[in-house]
Amino acid sequence: ELKVEQNPLFLSMQEGKNYTIYCNYSTTSDRLYWYRQDPGKSLESLFVLLSNGAVKQEGRLMASLDTKARLSTLHITAAVHDLSATYFCAVSWATSYGKLTFGQGTILTVHP
């Protein structure tokens, strides 16, 4: 069974601090996605990572991919309150394009 696991599931941070969310997946993946979801809202695409060693950055968020370790990280730098949301990673496989398998999500709360 294909599995995607995130940790931590809950993350409470102070503004200005750094932290990392981890995403492990069980079999070789072709693409890894990071999404943000605000309460009651849809999913906002953050990053798409396509190859080993890929690193992408947008503002205070940086995502990386290690396909050999089957691990992606989402690093948060100098957190601000506006980053409070649920973050999901998802993977797709070459044999099942169109099907994204999501992790459980990490609920991030940034406190003043």
For residue 96, give every residue at least 6 positions away whose Cβ sits within 8 Å of its Cβ, in sequence order, or none.
Answer: none
Given the DSSP bridges, would you call strands 71-76 and 101-102 parallel, antiparallel or unpaired? unpaired
Least gap, CB of 107 to other proteins (angstroms): 9
Least gap, CB of 5 to other proteins (angstroms): 11
For other proteins, the closer of residues 44 and 58 by Cβ is: 44
For residue 109, give every residue at least 6 positions away whose Cβ sits within 8 Å of its Cβ, in sequence order, or none.
Answer: 10, 11, 12, 13, 84
Binding residue for other proteins, selected from 13, 33, 72, 108, defined by CB under 8 A: 33
Binding residue for other proteins, selected from 7, 19, 22, 30, defined by CB under 8 A: 30
Q: Which of these ranges, 19-27, 37-45, 51-59, 65-73, lies near other proteins under the rule CB under 8 A?
A: 37-45
**Of 57, 79, 65, whose CA–CA distance to 30 is shortest?**
65
Take residue 16 and report the two structure tokens written for it: 């200005």
Positions touching other proteins (CB under 8 A) are 4, 30-31, 33, 35, 41-45, 48, 88, 90, 92, 96-105
